[in-house]
């Protein structure tokens, strides 16, 4: 049986694939840690690139996930070939849960114009959202990978945190992500946003992304983009966001991706003062930068 390794990904993720991608000059990389607004950001970028598209079938067909394997033993070249065949009629966009250096960062210049949209979320909110998300992976998916579902499922959040997150040192997926991107946050090809700010100013956040990507939609397109990226629209069309094309079997149960979308509600989902204090202490050890950590937990303007 395969099980999570300390600080490492589950067996269906191969982050090293990202090192092998032949990047195009106008590629867009959406780099977001677990349960921090990845699917929402993927949809915003897709809608901006298309001027508003309600007819897509699966966001993962439009914005591929670089690390995901569909079956054990899948050759990385199979994924790389599929990526290389993506049309050139518009910039490609990709999802990644990784950060530099596992996710290659290419500064502007030398003929390259890659852009990186980076989103962070309060780590307490991300982790309480991770628990039901992992539970909603299908039984068939766990069986395919020889992973007992019991490796991820616990009856309550404190137990999940203690026996899954802390036992496997998974705090690094969040605080290590912040540490990797923080020195790059003001680079001209990096747009670093906070989930809380995206939630409080939906339209403004879309406009910031549009400006960053050099996209100027028409008024009609703005109306469509704003509607199709709203929580209400995505919840009503949640089948478009559940990775139907990631494998030949269901990866997720219905409702796994578009769940609540709320900010400041970690306690309602099981976060306790004890767990929050431990998480903050571990995070401070991983990245002892108080300015960065205050932004990580609360959002707001990026510090200089």
pLDDT exceeds cutoff 50 at 6: no
Report the C-alpha gap between 252 and 135 in whole angstroms.
Answer: 9
Local structure of residue 68 (DSSP, 8 states): B
The answer to whether 42 and 127 are in contact (CB under 8 A) is: no
Structure tokens at 101: 């250096």
Q: With b meaning 16 or more CB within 10 Å and e meaning fewer, what string describes 249-259?
A: ebbbeeebbbb
Q: Convert the pLDDT of each residue in 76-114 to its tens digit.
A: 999 999 999 999 999 999 999 999 999 999 998 766 789
Confidence of residue 4 (pLDDT cuts 50, 70, 90): very low
pLDDT exceeds cutoff 70 at 264: no
Which position has the token pair 């616990």?
Answer: 154
pLDDT given for residue 106 in this prediction:
94
pLDDT given for residue 219 in this prediction:
97
Phi-psi region of 248 (alpha: psi -120 to 50; beta: other; left: phi over 0): alpha
Average pLDDT over residues 173-185: 98
Q: Nearest Cα to 184, choosing from 172, 192, 176?
A: 192
pLDDT given for residue 58 in this prediction:
97
pLDDT given for residue 257 in this prediction:
67
Question: For the chain, what is the mean pLDDT?
Answer: 93
Confidence of residue 254 (pLDDT cuts 50, 70, 90): confident
Confidence of residue 3 (pLDDT cuts 50, 70, 90): very low
Q: Convert the pLDDT of each residue in 12-44 to its tens digit.
A: 999 999 999 999 999 999 999 999 999 999 999
Q: Nearest Cα to 102, choosing from 39, 8, 190?
A: 8
pLDDT given for residue 109 in this prediction:
76
Q: Convert the pLDDT of each residue in 45-75 to its tens digit.
A: 999 999 999 999 999 999 999 999 999 999 9
Structure tokens at 293: 């950590």
**CB proximity list for 174: less than 8 A, separation 6 or greater:** 33, 34, 36, 123, 126, 127, 283
Q: Which domains does the chain have, with CATH numbers?
A: 15-298 (3.40.50.300)
Confidence of residue 8 (pLDDT cuts 50, 70, 90): low
pLDDT given for residue 64 in this prediction:
97
pLDDT exceeds cutoff 50 at 2: no
Confidence of residue 5 (pLDDT cuts 50, 70, 90): very low
Lay out the sheet containing 115-120: strands in order across.
Answer: 93-96, 28-31, 115-120, 190-194
């Amino acid at each position: 049986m395969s099980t999570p390794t300390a600080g490492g990904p589950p067996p269906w993720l191969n982050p090293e694939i990202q090192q092998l991608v032949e990047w195009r000059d106008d590629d867009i990389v959406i780099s977001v840690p677990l349960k921090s607004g990845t699917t929402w950001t993927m949809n915003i970028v897709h809608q901006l690139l298309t001027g508003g598209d309600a007819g897509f079938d699966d966001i993962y067909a439009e914005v591929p996930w670089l690390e995901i394997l569909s079956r054990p033993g899948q050759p990385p070249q199979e994924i790389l070939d599929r990526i290389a065949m993506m049309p050139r009629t518009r910039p490609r966009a990709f999802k990644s849960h990784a950060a530099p250096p596992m996710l290659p960062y290419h500064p502007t210049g030398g003929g390259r114009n890659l852009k990186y949209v980076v989103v962070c979320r309060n780590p307490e909110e991300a982790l309480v959202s991770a628990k039901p998300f992992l539970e909603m992976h299908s039984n068939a998916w766990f069986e395919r990978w020889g992973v007992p579902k019991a490796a991820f499922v616990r009856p309550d959040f404190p137990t999940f945190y203690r026996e899954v997150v802390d036992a496997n040192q998974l705090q690094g997926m969040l605080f290590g992500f912040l540490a990797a991107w923080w020195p790059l946050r003001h680079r001209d090809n990096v747009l670093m946003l906070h989930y809380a700010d995206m939630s409080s100013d939906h339209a403004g956040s879309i406009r910031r992304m549009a400006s960053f990507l050099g996209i100027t939609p028409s008024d009609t397109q703005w109306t469509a983009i704003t509607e199709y990226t709203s929580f209400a629209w995505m919840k009503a069309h949640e089948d478009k966001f559940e990775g139907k094309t990631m494998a030949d079997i269901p990866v997720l149960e219905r409702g796994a991706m578009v769940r609540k979308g709320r900010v400041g509600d970690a306690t309602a989902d099981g976060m306790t003062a004890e767990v929050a204090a431990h998480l903050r202490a571990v995070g401070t050890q991983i990245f002892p930068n108080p300015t960065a950590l205050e932004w990580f937990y609360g959002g707001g303007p990026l510090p200089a």
